[in-house]
Structure 1
């Protein structure tokens, strides 16, 4: 059924809501997302949407998820579609597959820049802006598809002209768009004023505000910086006080979303809300329950005991093969996914990749910070400058290096001087209080522990020497990979290594940071691609380009954990003893 028909048929006074998900990075994550979709389907959203992925990188999985959600769980689905890397043949194939699967709803977007570009350029002269997708769909499929488009209450991130943005939006609607979903925002007044401007210029289609509950401080700051979202000062001040307490941040995110929705619904008569879930469930469910939009869990359990929802006979293979471990998991087992360091079985693993893992600064900024290195010593100097906070970003991190690095900074500098190009690290910690200003996190009254780990690029000669020493040391575990399929590890079973954990009153031990083979391999793809993006900043066959290509093509990426967190200094003897 078309989303616009469902909206028009909806009771005028009742609110409605929808959910947005992204394709998980791992097969286990996809299996667990299907479990999550089954639970969230009970909340009866008007529709669910699935992102296309930066650069069109998840097209096949996006289509699969739409088909499964619609066929297995009876959810109305909306498939995102972007201009990025799209030519006419790819578009027609995707739309035909959607139509054949009974998917009637498309969210037509311009999309993020393809990898290796700091600004958006079209892959096909026929698809330059989202309006080109809208026109093409309408021309080829008439009114079979319901088409949604994006709106930007605070202006498009790539535009300085809000009035022009509104004119573009009106053109998309005039070309055949049926509804609008907005980019996320946290300034309610900006949305209200923008919606009024939309109506003034004749935009009459439904406008659904995008709501992203704050799930974690770091992910919140990264997404809002990336999308150039204005954050009211009172929100920033509130988060600053609690940013090291993940649960407090999540609780605040729920309260803030409730406040925003209440104002929009009760004061400004907004009826629909589109939740960007980041593949997490608990915060969204709590918001809907506390708003009275859905029954509480207790009420739902009572109803289920009276009448159970039938399970469809047709199931995809991936669903059949799920273990009881998946089926029995609670809704919040992965409540704090923690990016690439979280559990790779989580649907939210790598949640920030939905916005694209790429160089997040312009070419001019990159050249200003990193210059044009022509020797390995020049490369080493860039890594040292980042560790010394002389430059704020480098290719593998868009944030300044953390304060906790102070205790190992001098050794990291030395490590880079020895030819180990470090991209990530953390010092060992043996029981500091959870409110410690540098290492603390979580609620007060707990203790924090960390194992030392370091991740680095290293050439073949040094790698071979290092492995010989590691093989004789029981305290070290590692994963190593090259851009090719070469892979080595001394961990005999596929298991997770907790490198950060906390002990709190009345709780099980919390392990927010883990390292495991599947997550390392997923990160390895990103890490080498970031190296390629750095390389592509420079002219082909230039000295700098060849140097970076040599590192990317022939060096190893190594993640090394020193498991003796009580006596961590021994790890440096291993590195420096090689020389």
Structure 2
């Protein structure tokens, strides 16, 4: 059924809401997301949408999720579709499969292009912007699809002309778009004023605001920076004191999202809301409960108890035709009642970026669009200059660790405060030729409220093993592997761009490198290292290296240097499991420095 038909069929002034999900990177994450979808389907969203990775990188998984959600769980589905770096045949196949599966709703997008200029190419001369997709779908499929498009209350991230953005939006509607989903926002006034301008220029289709509950401080700042979203000062001031308390940040995110929706509903007559779930469920459920859009846990328990009592009473008074009681039947608890919340609702409540648990539905890119250089080429070149030797490359990595430049291709935010504990060691590692892209110091039972290392709810203790990830030359990796073979506390995964792989992990089991112990809770393990997560990251890590290469002209010394490194060096993830005494970890690198200089 078309989304617009469902909206029109609602009772007057009845609010509605929808959920957005992204395709997890692993099969385990996808399987667990299906369990989550089943539970969240009981919250009765008007529809659910599934994102589409940059360049169509998730086309098969996105289509599968749409088909499962609609066919198995009865959820109205909206498939995102982008035209950036995608062959026309892929678009045609995706639309054909969607139609054959009965999917009638498409969100037509240009897509977020990789920031390197060489990478921004349309899929075909026919497809350069979202409006081209809208026109194509209308021309080929008539009115079969209900088409949505994106709107930007604070202006498109790649545009400096908000008025021109409005004109483009009106053109997309005139070309056949049926509804609009906004970019996420936290400034209510921005959305309200933008919606008024949309109506003033003649846009009459439904406009659905996108609301993203804050799930973590760092992920919130990253997403808002990438999307160039205005964050009101009072929100920043509220978050600053609690930024290290993950539970408090989540609770604040629920309250803030509830407040935004309530304000838009009560004072601006906005009835529909699109919730960006980031593949997590608890915050979404709590928001809907606070808004009284769904019943609370207690109310559901009361209803289930009453239902069971009525069922027992009915069984007692129902007798066989001869007056005897019926034969005893086995007690079968309703799946919906027992699994509405689900014990696994909380298990991945504190996702930790790419090194989270790969079994989690939330494992993957938090911005859901795939990895690419998230910085314009001119800024990137300003940060990373024009390296012409390995010494130049080492200096770039050192500059990031010293906070002289704000980012590397693999790290879009400044280093966390915990890095202070190992900063000098990381500098030394890079000077030896280990180009570090990720690290964490060992921590043994620090309070969860600690400003440098703490996370999770108050009153707990957190632990973590020393970890470092780096690119290294084949010669240095060979020497390092020999030293590792003599140390029982070390495990590693290593890979090259050509899929050559090495590890000393003999029995493949998940290895928690960060965990927390909190009052009344099971042990929380937000950071897991295992082959499946390393394999997923390895592909992205070398793709990012290639993005860096292509900032420079073909044949230039910088491009040749970076390509040579990317083609021949190893990406290594190394964990030291003795978190009580971590000095042996650093001796692994510094014990034999002779001949190790790049």
- CA shift at 1:542, angstroms? 2.0
- Conserved? CA contact 1:86–1:127, under 8 Å: no
State yes or no: 1:557 paired with 2:574: no
Tell me what 1:417 maps to: 431
**Structure 2 counterpart of 1:319:** none
Gaps of 5+ in 1: 308-324
Counterparts of residues 282-361 of structure 1 (less than 5 Å): 282-300=282-300, 306=307, 329-352=343-366, 354-361=368-375
Q: For residues 520-535 of structure 1, what are the structure 2 equivalents within 5 Å?
A: 520-535=534-549
Between Structure 1 and Structure 2, how many residues are aligned? 561
Structure 1 equivalent of residue 557 of structure 2: 543
Moved more, 296-305 or 513-522: 296-305
8 Å contact from structure 2 (residues 245, 457) kept in 1: yes
Summarize the Cα distance change of 1:114–1:438 in structure 2 as closer, same or farther, 3 Å threshold: closer
**Post-superposition shift, 1:304?**
6.3
Q: Report whether the alignment pairs 1:219 with 2:219.
A: yes
Unaligned runs of 5+ in 2: 309-338
Select the residue among 492, 506, 510 that pairs with 1:492: 506
1:119 to partner: Cα distance: 7.8
Which string of whole-angstrom CA distances, capped at 9 and with x for unpartnered residues, describes residues 79-103 of structure 1? 1111112343322221111111101
Secondary structure of the 1:202 match is coil
Indicate whether 1:481 and 2:495 are aligned. yes
2:92 alignment counterpart: 92
Distance in 2 of aligned mates of 1:207 and 1:120: 29
**Could you tell me which residue of structure 1 aligns to residue 329 of structure 2?**
none
Q: How far did 1:441 drift?
A: 2.3
Whether 1:434 aligns to 2:448 is yes
2:422 match: secondary structure: helix
Q: Does 1:41 align with 2:41?
A: yes
Q: What secondary structure is seen at the aligned counterpart in 1 of 2:486?
A: coil
Question: What are the equivalent positions in structure 2 for 1:225-304 lying under 5 Å apart?
Answer: 225-300=225-300
CA contact (8 A) 2:115 2:376 kept: no
> What is the CA-CA distance between 1:444 and the residue it aligns to?
3.4
Over 3 Å counting, the alpha-carbon distance change for 1:115 and 1:554 in structure 2 is farther
Task: Report the Cα distance in structure 1 between the residues aligned to 2:357 and 2:24, rounded to whole angstroms.
Answer: 12
Give how far 1:499 is off: 1.8
Distance of aligned partners of 1:115 and 1:60 in 2 relative to their CA distance in 1, 3 Å threshold: farther
CA contact (8 A) 1:118 1:361 kept: no
- Further displaced range: 429-438 or 245-254: 429-438
The offset of 1:422, in angstroms, is 0.9
Superposed, 1:61-210 pairs within 5 Å as 61-114=61-114, 116-117=116-117, 120-210=120-210
Distance (Å, rounded) in 1 between the aligned partners of 2:374 and 2:409: 9
Q: Which runs of structure 2 are paired with 1:505-520 in the superposition (5 Å)?
A: 505-520=519-534
Q: Which residue is equivalent to 2:50? A: 50
How many angstroms apart in 2 are the aligned matches of 1:434 and 1:183? 34
Q: TM-score w.r.t. structure 1 length? A: 0.93
SS in 2 for 1:355: coil
CA pair 301-53 structure 1, distance change in 2 beyond 3 A? farther
Moved more, 508-517 or 450-459: 508-517
Closer, same or farther: CA 504–70 of 1 in aligned 2, 3 Å: closer
Instruction: Kindly provide the CA deviation profile for residues 278-321 of structure 1, in whole angstroms up to 9, marking residues without a partner as x.
Output: 111111011111111112234445666749xxxxxxxxxxxxxx
Q: How does 1:460-471 map onto structure 2 within 5 Å?
A: 460-471=474-485
Which has the larger Rg?
A: 2
Deviation at residue 329 of structure 1 after TM alignment: 4.8
Deviation at 1:403, TM superposition (A): 2.3
- The equivalent residue for 1:322 is none
Q: Any idea what SS the aligned residue of 2:106 has?
A: strand
1:325-404 alignment, distance < 5 Å: 329-352=343-366, 354-404=368-418
Whole-angstrom CA distance in 1 between matches of 2:2 and 2:304: 29
- Structure 1 distance, partners of 2:292, 2:249, is 22
* Higher alpha-carbon deviation: 227-236 or 480-489: 480-489
Give yes or no for contact 1:359–1:395 (8 Å, CA) kept in 2.
yes
2:474/2:568 contact within 8 Å kept = yes
Cα separation, 1, equivalents of 2:117 and 2:70:
35
Structure 1 residue 353, shift from structure 2 partner: 5.1
1:539 deviates by 1.6
Q: Which residue of 1 aligns with 2:312?
A: none
Which moved further from structure 2: 86-95 or 59-68?
A: 86-95
- Secondary structure of the 1:352 match is coil
Task: Quote how far apart the aligned CAs of 1:120 are.
Answer: 4.4
1:148, 1:508 → 2: CA distance? 42
Structure 1 residue 159 displacement after superposition: 1.1
Equivalent position of 1:313 in the other structure: none
The 10-residue stretch of structure 1 (20-29 or 345-354) with the greater mean CA deviation from structure 2: 345-354
Distance 1:79 1:270, change over 3 A: same
Q: Answer whether contact 1:19 1:45 (CA < 8 A) is retained.
A: yes
2:39–2:342 CA contact under 8 A, matched in 1: no
**Structure 1 residues 505 and 300 mapped into 2: Cα distance closer, same or farther (>3 Å)?**
closer
Instruction: Measure, in 1, the Cα distance between the counterparts of 2:77 and 2:303.
Output: 25
Q: Distance in 2 between matches of 1:243 and 1:448?
A: 16
Contact conserved, 1:432 with 1:440, CA < 8 A, in 2? Answer: yes
- Can you list the C-alpha shifts for 1:42-93, whole angstroms capped at 9, x where unaligned? 1111111111112221111111111111111111111111111234332222
Hey, what's the Cα distance between the residues in 2 that align with 1:341 and 1:119?
Answer: 27
1:455 maps to 2:455: no
Counterpart Cα distance in 2 of 1:116 and 1:157 = 15
| CA deviation string 1:419-475 (max 9, x = no partner) | 111111111122333332222223333333221111111111111111111111111
* Cα distance change of structure 1 residues 20 and 458 upon mapping to structure 2, 3 Å threshold: same
Alignment check: 8 A CA contact 1:118 1:359 kept: no
Q: Does 1:29 align with 2:29?
A: yes
Aligned counterpart, 1:15:
15
1:472 matched to 2:490? The reply is: no
Q: 1:301 to 1:504 in 2, by over 3 A?
A: closer
Are the aligned partners of 2:52 and 2:369 in contact in 1 as well (CA < 8 Å)?
Answer: no
**In structure 2, what is the Cα distance between the partners aligned to 1:557 and 1:86?**
29
- Asked if structure 2 preserves the Cα contact closer than 8 Å seen for 1:87 and 1:127, the reply is no
Deviation at 1:418, TM superposition (A): 1.3
> Structure 1 residues 96, 395: CA separation in 2 closer, same or farther (over 3 Å shift)?
same
Match of 1:4 in 2: 4
CA distance in 2, matches of 1:44, 1:510: 30
Distance in 1 between the 2:32 and 2:152 partners?
32
